[in-house]
Chain A
């Protein structure tokens, strides 16, 4: 319509169809936003049933979860601190997922990356903080990249299923980590929580001004956005998506499928290694079993909730971080075990996996396709 309210387009007399179903692309976009929300809604209902069965008032627990996650500035900060590693580790699933791979072994890269960061920190004690931090971060990323890159190489050159191998690699990483931290690298003063010697306090990466949130959050957000752009706009991203969409077509286009597989896994692993670095430098101050916090599986959940869209990883990680942050409050307020929020997380995961089958089958996309 022009300024005088007269129709100037050729569609005079024909009603514009609602935006959501105007085209298949719009419907797909709407689904991409609405389905995860609906899935989480369904998960809430199921979790409510679970709570009712174990004898807790669902609505009150929900409200505690909300307060524990987002109710106050304090809980927000708690949530964001937990979201930071989730973002980085989720990329370890998101990037290989572009090629159609399901890598769930981010934990291994976190552990070994963190261990490497701690070792660098110990070796470099006394060096300028900037140098120490840079070396720690770089080494952690390289170790993570190598670890998951190996998963990619096994997949491409030996046909080993990447999901299983990344899981087994995590067990391997846990054993190696335990062995080193309880044996050769152990600080004798650490009794119940065996760990390495503490790193030079100068190598503690600081907090974002006027918050208690360390810089890992900024790194996570920047990494997600950068990877989102890489996937959408660069030939590397396009090549990964071609492989993911049809490996045969990728071959006929001469794309180096093996190299892309290893590169995508390594890149993902680098971010997971970096998450280990941030945990060691900003939170723990040494490498100990606190590093083994099962980020990997929550991070896999984050990537799936985000449908392997790197930008959507950010809000998904905040949501899952919130669930984890609320654990303490739920425990205190309702006398429920700490693991209750993990039950919720598990339910969310199952419903999200189930919801993958809803895409393209909702009334929205049917209406868009039918052109009604």
Chain B
């Protein structure tokens, strides 16, 4: 599903007098198959934007299409119809909030993961539910037989997060949206979560991934396109390479991934590298340059 946002605006607490405009016209297209990154300073509207993608926030101004779903409520559409659409949309667009482990509630991990399927497919048989739950728990790298009867609150922080993500994957979304999914994880946990996302994307289990992140290394390593948010707008939509090689005010405040930083320093001493900033390609390029000069 392609996501097209045109002139999307949003204001929190519109009627109160302390309101402020969080989105000031977001123009952005996310294609099917993208591993899409969203970066930007804190308060730039990233979370507000992605919450629109499965209708958790109603469109106030501008237009937003997610696949065939028109998220700006039209007058013709009844309330009932809109709600029905939202349910369909939410099963297609999975949303992993920041610290998703805080949404765990059920007595067992099984029940918690099953929550989504039961909501979206109330007619499913018990065996079918179990199959799907087992698949989702396996996918996130937890041992189904070990954890299914455990209380979600007995898991470690990283495991909790995996269980929470399984609770989203279980409804087999086409688009997976994640708000700072690795925040608060240790380096190993971060790597494993990112490689999980890669596996999901590469195997086509999830077609499109949208990820909000403050970690530029993560962005340069993983995404194929990236949007830079600033003051409630997507001021740049480009490849990570373009983002980290251009020098202007809005991107200089972001910081650089290590690879981009090193190539900048090398550039200063006259070594020109041309790769993108994925570590693998960067090293290849560096070795090639080295061999050329020796």
Please determine whether chains A and B interact with each other in the same assembly: no
